[in-house]
A and B are shown apart, each in its own frame.
Chain A
Amino acid sequence: MKLNRRRFLKYAAASSAVATAGALFPGASFGSWQKLKNNSGIISWQKAPCRFCGTGCGVLIGVSDGRAVAVKGDPNCSVNKGLCCMKGYHSVQALYAKDRITTAKIRKNGEMVEVPIKEALDLIADKIKKTMEKHGKDSVAIYGSGQWTIPDGYVASKLFKGCLGTNNVEANARLCMASAVTGFMTSFGIDEPMGCYEDMDHANVFITWGNNMAEMHPVLFSRMLANRKRRNNVTIIDFATRSTRTSQAADKSILFRPQTDLAVANAICYEIIKNDWVNWDFVNEHVSFHKGKTNIGYGTQDHFAFKDKAESIDFEEYKRFLEDYTPEKVEKISGVSAKNIKYMAALYGDPDLKVTSFWCMGMNQHTRGTWINNLVYNIHLLVGKISTPGNSPFSLTGQPSACGTVREVGTLTHKLPHGVVMNEHHRKMAAEIWDVPLENIDPKPTYHTVEMFRALDRGDIKFIWIQVTNPMVTMPNLRRYRDGALKDDRFVVVSDVYPTPTTDVADVILPAAMWVEQEGMFGNSERRTQHFAEIVKPPGEAMSDTWQIIEVARRLGFEKQFPWSQDEYIGKIWEEYRKFHAGPKHEMAPYTVLKKRSGVQWPFVDGKETRWRFNAKYDPACTNGKDFDFYGKKNHRAWIWARPYEPAAEFPDGEYNFWLNTGRVIEHWHTGSMTRRIPVLHNAVPHSYVEINPEDAAELGVVNGEMVKIISRRGEVTMPASIRGRGVPPRGMVFVPFFDESYLINEVTLDAFCPISKQPDYKKCAVRLEKA
């Protein structure tokens, strides 16, 4: 028996290496490797989506003696076709670190004391009730995550918005995806990409906009590389603010100064029009032109409010607007040569080339995040390269269910599972499906994420329940929000799997089931819903976040709205939730179908997945009788927006003379609370660091590994320097990965956000450096 188990582990080890080789050396073959034909029953393999990034790779989990012991890529999943990255291959080890939270804890006289989970759930329900009685319904809040399963987010929204009547529901996807959402809504009137990963097998040109795909979406990046290897007409352009592994693998790396992507995108449109590369048939039939407000602010003050106002313009006005963005003028702003701007414009403009643009946090974590999303859509719309195989403006997600749980379920203050709270028709639909009085659902949104934590600091919110996320590492301008959470009459509940700086501020800690210790669904970047079963048992008293919420809801008297039994609740919740999306624009697959397949793309109509939306050939929701139908907008057209370049909220000056840019590394998942407990990943990058340009480092007198103090107007952190590491920032910029709670870089960052999406900009603030 033992022999067999080791044999399978060796098989998993070999398959992991072969797959990684395939990613690094496209086309590599290992003919001598005899695959094991079947398993002996000692290790059983079950499908799940990967727990980590928004790529949504399908994995097979090897279970032996009730423990998850191995992972391999699922060859039946079209996302990754059997491949995984290092996080995926080692993911099951994240279940078993020794400090796993397995019992509930309550703060008593300043000390966290273990209690039966029932006692903790009683206390939470009691606190919610009393806080609402004393301070009103908007004094309680829930803050979740793009790592919430779809049922987690759904029951959270149902309890808080439908039953308790507060719109204090937010999720950390506000910090990573909100600008993508508002970008889609303003350009197309409907959320989520029109294309899919299959675009990669058709495109000739890939342009990554501020997106280090080689590290953040490695499996997709390797698919791009494999396409370049297989076909001889594929070019990859990395357009970024620092040199990364993506730049090294690209055919061309073009660097721009932070924030000036706005100007470059406009310059590309200027060139397309000047050279008459416009696809007039497409533009005349399917596009309209608009402008919005300008000088829109940065949201750094409490209660900041902004509402955009769209005005129609004609093509001539749009053309005049672009005259400020000639390549020569933009070269001065952006540092990108006019020649390179013209080169990129020529790629987009060439009617014989199919172009896919990829982006993620670089464009979304941006004080003009909505605008830069609009501007990249403008480029694709002008040349009609959209919604056809290979022609795709593609916004990638960071978290496994940022799309599924936050965008589709609508776990943001203004959203409902279908539509928005401001719309009476949408409220009626929710009230009916949820079986609650219509008046329960408040038509006014309350707080977006930054403002929610400001409200907690001010005392407008007294109770907050945080699930599957670690805001005490990730909030920008962190110190204010940590001090706020620690104030005397605030009550903080945290559901998590390991201790974190967020559990440190908790009054109650609930042990949560992790990933395949529960049944659930995620939704990835390409509108793919992925079901997973409970494959192993959760440890101790840990329970799913969904079930925790149901337990509290019942204690608050909402048995009628949460009637399901523990052995069938996920299927029942899914079928209830599906009602919100009935119809060809967003139909979701039935539970029985999800259970069988390695992910199903929506709209799922008459048993068929929709790969390209808005294209009448593929999308059953197109009804206008034309080749394309942008049905999200009332005029059935996609909107081109005149959006100007405006500077960042804070930029280097005489006193704080460096840009600070923050982000991730391939080995670690976000705040590292899981991946730092996986020995292989932890040993690969055991701590964070600050990347400094070699010339700046020489001027500072700092060598690799020496400690450097990074100081902003908000705080400081001292950490080791990395010089000529895997990434090299240009002169005047430093980069810090945020995965390491020993170096809280967000004490330094600024809580400025895009006034439309309310998503903070983690990529730009001003700091100075000192040798420590």
Chain B
Amino acid sequence: MPIFSYLAIPANGAKEMLCADLASLSHCEVIPSDNREVVVLVTDTPDKATEEKLQEKLKQLQTLQSLSLTFGYDDEKIKEKLR
């Protein structure tokens, strides 16, 4: 059940569109900056398969120039490491 946060940089002039694109995806919370061309994206997926699907969808977004990870938490990974 991973939770990640990212900085999403929109393609030129496409911040509004990017926010709309991201907000339309499940498991995504979008926090746009009021005054800079950057959007915070927080994802909270229930399992690995959903996470992978979401990643695929993110990759396909035309309005997204780049995505950089700022936080990652994954219960499963941590449990796996402890096993």
User: Which A residues touch B4, using CB under 8 A?
Assistant: 13
- B70 near A89: Cβ-Cβ < 8 Å: yes
Assess A28 versus B73: contact at CB under 8 Å? Given A6-B3, A6-B44, A21-B33.
no
- A27 near B36: Cβ-Cβ < 8 Å: yes
Assess A14 versus B5: contact at CB under 8 Å? Given A21-B36, A29-B34, A96-B81.
yes
- B71 near A13: Cβ-Cβ < 8 Å: yes
**In angstroms, how far is the closest chain A Cβ from the Cβ of B22?**
13
- A30 near B31: Cβ-Cβ < 8 Å: yes
User: Which B residues touch A13, using CB under 8 A?
Assistant: 3-5, 42, 70-71, 73
Instruction: Give Cα A29 to B5, complex, Å.
Output: 17
- A29 near B35: Cβ-Cβ < 8 Å: yes
A446 at the interface (CB under 8 A from B): no
B38 partner, pick from A21, A32, A89, A98, beta carbons under 8 A: A21
User: Which B residues touch A680, using CB under 8 A?
Assistant: 69, 72
A90 at the interface (CB under 8 A from B): yes
For A1-37 the 0/1 string (1 means CB < 8 A from B) is 0000010011011101111110011011111110000
User: Which B residues touch A33, using CB under 8 A?
Assistant: 31, 40
Assess A28 versus B42: contact at CB under 8 Å? Given A6-B3, A10-B29, A13-B5.
no
- A20 near B70: Cβ-Cβ < 8 Å: yes
The DSSP consensus for interface residues of chain B is strand
B33 partner, pick from A6, A29, A96, A679, beta carbons under 8 A: A29
B6 partner, pick from A17, A28, A86, beta carbons under 8 A: A17
- B7 near A20: Cβ-Cβ < 8 Å: yes
A97 at the interface (CB under 8 A from B): yes
Among B14-58, those with CB < 8 Å from A are: 29, 31-38, 40-42, 44
User: Which A residues touch B29, using CB under 8 A?
Assistant: 10, 14
Instruction: Give Cα A679 to B77, complex, Å.
Output: 9
Instruction: Give Cα A29 to B32, complex, Å.
Output: 9
* Nearest-CB residue, chain A, relative to B78: A96
* Nearest-CB residue, chain B, relative to A678: B72
Instruction: Give Cα A518 to B17, complex, Å.
Output: 49
User: Which A residues touch B7, using CB under 8 A?
Assistant: 17, 20-21, 24
User: Which B residues touch A98, using CB under 8 A?
Assistant: 80-83
* Nearest-CB residue, chain B, relative to A20: B70
B82 partner, pick from A14, A28, A96, beta carbons under 8 A: A96
**In angstroms, how far is the closest chain A Cβ from the Cβ of B70?**
4
A533 at the interface (CB under 8 A from B): no
The DSSP consensus for interface residues of chain A is helix
A436 at the interface (CB under 8 A from B): no
Assess A17 versus B33: contact at CB under 8 Å? Given A9-B73, A98-B81, A679-B72.
no
Question: Which size class do B's interface residues fall under?
Answer: 20 to 34
Indicate the member of B33, B35, B77 with the most A CB atoms within 10 Å. Answer: B33
**In angstroms, how far is the closest chain B Cβ from the Cβ of A690?**
25
Instruction: Give Cα A31 to B40, complex, Å.
Output: 12
**In angstroms, how far is the closest chain A Cβ from the Cβ of B27?**
11
**In angstroms, how far is the closest chain B Cβ from the Cβ of A514?**
15
Instruction: Give Cα A33 to B33, complex, Å.
Output: 9
Instruction: Give Cα A20 to B35, complex, Å.
Output: 15
- B31 near A32: Cβ-Cβ < 8 Å: yes
A125 at the interface (CB under 8 A from B): no
User: Which A residues touch B70, using CB under 8 A?
Assistant: 13, 16-17, 19-20, 86, 89
**In angstroms, how far is the closest chain A Cβ from the Cβ of B56?**
18
A69 at the interface (CB under 8 A from B): yes
Instruction: Give Cα A707 to B60, complex, Å.
Output: 33
User: Which B residues touch A30, using CB under 8 A?
Assistant: 31-34, 40
- B82 near A21: Cβ-Cβ < 8 Å: no
B72 partner, pick from A14, A19, A29, A90, beta carbons under 8 A: A90
- B3 near A10: Cβ-Cβ < 8 Å: yes
A16 partner, pick from B1, B36, B44, B71, beta carbons under 8 A: B71
A70 at the interface (CB under 8 A from B): yes
User: Which A residues touch B74, using CB under 8 A?
Assistant: 679
**In angstroms, how far is the closest chain A Cβ from the Cβ of B7?**
6
- B73 near A25: Cβ-Cβ < 8 Å: no
User: Which B residues touch A93, using CB under 8 A?
Assistant: 78
Instruction: Give Cα A16 to B37, complex, Å.
Output: 18
* Nearest-CB residue, chain B, relative to A97: B81
A18 partner, pick from B3, B37, B40, B83, beta carbons under 8 A: B40
User: Which B residues touch A89, using CB under 8 A?
Assistant: 70-71
Indicate the member of A17, A86, A89, A684 with the most B CB atoms within 10 Å. Answer: A17
**In angstroms, how far is the closest chain A Cβ from the Cβ of B77?**
6
* Nearest-CB residue, chain A, relative to B68: A20
- A32 near B71: Cβ-Cβ < 8 Å: no
**In angstroms, how far is the closest chain A Cβ from the Cβ of B73?**
5
* Nearest-CB residue, chain A, relative to B73: A9
- B33 near A25: Cβ-Cβ < 8 Å: yes
**In angstroms, how far is the closest chain B Cβ from the Cβ of A299?**
43
- B69 near A28: Cβ-Cβ < 8 Å: no
User: Which A residues touch B36, using CB under 8 A?
Assistant: 21, 25, 27-29
Instruction: Give Cα A16 to B38, complex, Å.
Output: 14
- B81 near A69: Cβ-Cβ < 8 Å: no
**In angstroms, how far is the closest chain A Cβ from the Cβ of B32?**
7
* Nearest-CB residue, chain B, relative to A69: B73
Instruction: Give Cα A10 to B72, complex, Å.
Output: 10
- A10 near B81: Cβ-Cβ < 8 Å: no
* Nearest-CB residue, chain A, relative to B74: A679
For A570-611 the 0/1 string (1 means CB < 8 A from B) is 000000000000000000000000000000000000000000
Instruction: Give Cα A598 to B40, complex, Å.
Output: 28
Assess A28 versus B3: contact at CB under 8 Å? Given A17-B71, A89-B71, A98-B81.
no
- A31 near B34: Cβ-Cβ < 8 Å: yes
- A28 near B33: Cβ-Cβ < 8 Å: yes
User: Which B residues touch A19, using CB under 8 A?
Assistant: 70
- A10 near B42: Cβ-Cβ < 8 Å: yes
* Nearest-CB residue, chain B, relative to A34: B31
**In angstroms, how far is the closest chain B Cβ from the Cβ of A527?**
31
- A70 near B31: Cβ-Cβ < 8 Å: no
Instruction: Give Cα A362 to B78, complex, Å.
Output: 37
For A25-62 the 0/1 string (1 means CB < 8 A from B) is 10111111100000000000000000000000000000
* Nearest-CB residue, chain B, relative to A98: B81
- B38 near A28: Cβ-Cβ < 8 Å: yes
* Nearest-CB residue, chain B, relative to A14: B42
* Nearest-CB residue, chain A, relative to B30: A32
User: Which B residues touch A18, using CB under 8 A?
Assistant: 31, 40
Pick 19 A–B contacts, CB within 8 A, sort by A.
A6-B44, A10-B44, A13-B70, A13-B71, A14-B40, A17-B7, A17-B31, A18-B40, A21-B36, A27-B36, A28-B33, A30-B32, A86-B70, A89-B70, A90-B71, A96-B78, A97-B81, A98-B82, A98-B83
11 other A-B residue contacts (CB within 8 Å) besides A6-B1, A93-B78, A679-B77? A13-B5, A13-B70, A13-B71, A16-B70, A24-B7, A28-B33, A30-B34, A31-B34, A86-B70, A98-B80, A680-B72
Closest 5 CB pairs of A and B: A13-B5, A16-B71, A17-B5, A98-B81, A17-B40
